[in-house]
């Protein structure tokens, strides 16, 4: 057992919860409003972890320099905020995992780049038990991932030192942030990773195919 780990921290989208269906619905609703054809879910899913800006770039083929970008991004967020929970669920195995962690004396938390006005109602709607020991959103701190600042705040709120934390995420910036904060890291391969990405090159301490694999990793001698 890796006895030094006292806290497991999760990215939200693509790691703790499968938010892609509701985010895809918001994007396709916006595309229809703008007179464009909807995109297939399979094309949207790999981009979800990269946030609202990535959704607009994907859907409209524009950059942040485009005159319409900010308007479209705000409308996308408004649509999404109105419908956060229709299809979003914890990934299979997450709820059991959190209970098992509690039995091992390990608490858990969330570090996401999602803004708090979306994160807080979404997490409340998931109603996960035991409750998170900390929830750090994209606007909780001055800097967002891949900067280590939100990770370090999470460790403080969770009552653990950074080296006592394991961070699990599905994007390269997650692993970068965790490593820079002095945490151990795992890549959630079940998350929103595109074929053009190479998670084996991100420098994580391991990769997992399902949430339950976190327990197997923790139980190894480290």
Q: Which residues are catalytic?
A: 11, 13
- Hey, CA dihedral for 120, 127, 146, 87, is it positive or negative? negative
Helices within 61-212 (DSSP H only): 69-81, 94-103, 116-126, 149-158, 172-180
User: Tokens at residue 158, please?
Assistant: 């969770």
Q: How many CA atoms lie within 13 A of 180 on its CB side?
A: 16
**Please, which residues have CB within 8 angstroms of residue 171's CB and are 6 or more apart in sequence?**
11, 14, 49, 50, 191, 192, 193
Indicate the SS3 state at residue 91: coil
Place of tokens 């959630």: 188
**For residues 108-122, b (16+ Cβ closer than 10 Å) or e, as one string?**
bbbbbbbbeebbeeb
């Amino acid at each position: 057992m890796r006895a030094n780990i006292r806290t497991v921290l999760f990215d939200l989208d693509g790691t703790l919860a499968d938010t892609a269906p509701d985010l895809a619905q918001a994007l396709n609703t916006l595309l229809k409003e703008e007179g464009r054809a909807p995109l297939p879910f399979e094309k949207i899913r790999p981009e979800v972890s990269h946030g609202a800006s990535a959704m607009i770039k994907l859907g409209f083929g524009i950059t942040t320099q485009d005159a319409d970008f900010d308007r479209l991004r705000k409308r996308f967020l408004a649509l999404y905020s109105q419908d956060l929970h229709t299809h979003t669920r914890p990934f299979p195995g997450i709820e059991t995992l959190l209970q098992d962690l509690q039995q091992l004396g390990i608490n858990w938390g969330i570090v996401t780049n999602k803004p708090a006005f979306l994160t807080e109602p979404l997490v409340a709607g998931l109603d996960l038990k035991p409750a998170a020991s900390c929830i750090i959103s994209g606007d909780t701190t001055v800097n967002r991932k891949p900067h280590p600042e939100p990770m370090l705040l999470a460790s403080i709120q969770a009552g653990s030192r950074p080296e006592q934390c394991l961070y699990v995420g599905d994007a390269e910036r997650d692993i970068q942030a965790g490593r820079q904060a002095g945490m151990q890291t795992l890549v959630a391969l079940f998350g929103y990773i595109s074929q053009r990405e190479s998670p084996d090159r991100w420098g994580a301490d391991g990769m997992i195919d399902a949430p339950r694999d976190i327990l197997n990793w923790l139980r190894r001698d480290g």
